[in-house]
Amino acid sequence: MMPTRVVLHEVGLRDGLQMEAQAVPTERKIGWVRALAEAGMDIIQVGSFVHPTKVPQMADTDQMFRVLSASDAKPAGVVFSGLVLNEKGLERGLACGVDMFCMGVSASETHSRKNTGMHIAEATERIIAMALEALKANKSVQVSVQSAFGCGYEGAVPPDRVLDIVRRYLDAGLKNISLADTAGHATPAMVEQLFGAVRTMESTVELTCHFHNTYGMAIANCYAALQVGVQSVESSVAGLGGCPFTKIAGGNVCTEDFVHMLQRMNFRTDVKLDRLLAVAQDVAAFFNRDMPGMLYKTGPIAF
C-alpha cells in the first residue's frame, strides 16, 4: 500500500546539527535551508526552541525563522517546521513565523526524563494542550511518539505503551502523528506491525516515520513504513544527526540516499538530487570529515 506521493521532511538543520559541537554560522545554515528548498524538500525543520545552554547549536533558531519567513524571501510551497518541548518554546515559535510545530512524548520513562525532565503522563498532558493551542493559532501540528521502537536505556518498549499515547492524541483530534525510532532499534517487521496498528485505530491518520541509523537499518525501515502506507518521511542531509539525550546516538536516515532509492522506484523524480548532493558535500566540507551518507561520495546510479 505505497502512498501515491512521499512527503519529504528534512530535519538535518535540527536533529542533525544538535549533535555537532562546532557551531555553524547562521548565514551558512540559512544557505543550506534555501538550497534544500530549491532541491524540492516539502518540509524543512529549521531548528528547535530549546535553551541555548542545553543545545547551543539552536541558539539562533528564532532569528533563522524570522529571516526565512520574510515574505520576500520564503520559497513558494515550502513548509518551515520547528520542534518545541514546552510552552515557552511554543510561545517563541508563534512569535517568529513557524509554519508547522513538531512536538512529542517519549514512550520511554528514562528518555522522557532526560529529554524533557517530565514523566510520560505529564509530558503527554502538556504536549496535547500545546498542540491544541497551536491549532487554534492556525498552525499545522505534528505530534510524535519518541523511542517508539525501543530505548537505549530501557531496551524494549511495549507497543501498548506507544499505542496508548497515540490513542490520547487521536482522542484529542490530533491526526498528524509520527513514530520515531530514537534509539535505532526498529526492524522492518516491527515497523509494519506498529504503524499497521495505528492505521487500524484511525484510518484517516496522517503518518510520518523518523528512523535513526544507529544499527544500519534506517533505510530498510523507511521502505517497510512506505509499504504500510506511511505518507511522510523525516530524513537528514548527509545523514547528520542523533539525539543527545539517548544512550547511543546515531545519525538519521540520509536524505539524498533515501531520495535516490525513491527515484530508482520512480517516486519523487521532481526532486533535484544534484542539489541535495551539493548540500551534503558542503556539509562535509564545513565539518571537514566524512558524513554518514553514501551517495555524496559515490554519486548516483545513472538511470
C-alpha torsion 238→243→246→251, nearest 10: -10
- 103 in a structural domain: yes
Instruction: Give the pLDDT confidence score for residue 112 in this predicted structure.
Output: 65
Residue predicted with more confidence, 193 or 74:
193
Mean pLDDT of 270-287: 97
- 303 in a structural domain: no
Helices (H), 176-294: 188-201, 218-227, 255-264, 273-287
Residue 119 CA: distances (Å) to CA of 108, 123, 256, 293: 9, 6, 36, 35
- 1 in a structural domain: no
Instruction: Provide the domain limits for residue 232.
Output: 7-298
Q: Which residues are catalytic?
A: 243
pLDDT in tens, 94-107: 999 999 999 999 99
Q: How many whole angstroms separate alpha carbon 149 and alpha carbon 198?
A: 13
Confidence label for 242 from pLDDT (cuts 50, 70 and 90): low
- 238 in a structural domain: yes
Instruction: Give the pLDDT confidence score for residue 108 in this predicted structure.
Output: 85
Instruction: Give the pLDDT confidence score for residue 246 in this predicted structure.
Output: 45
Q: How many domains does the chain have?
A: 1
Give SS3 for 88.
Answer: helix
Confidence label for 115 from pLDDT (cuts 50, 70 and 90): low
- 287 in a structural domain: yes
C-alpha cell belonging to residue 203: 484510518
Instruction: Give the pLDDT confidence score for residue 251 in this predicted structure.
Output: 77
- Of the chain, the percentage scoring pLDDT greater than 90 comes to 79
- 2 in a structural domain: no
Instruction: Give the pLDDT confidence score for residue 19 in this predicted structure.
Output: 83
CATH assignment of the domain containing 44: 3.20.20.70
pLDDT in tens, 25-62: 999 999 999 999 999 999 999 999 998 888 899 999 99
Mean pLDDT for the chain overall: 92
pLDDT in tens, 157-177: 999 999 999 999 999 999 999
- 226 in a structural domain: yes
Least confident of 120-124, 146-150, 159-163, 225-229: 120-124
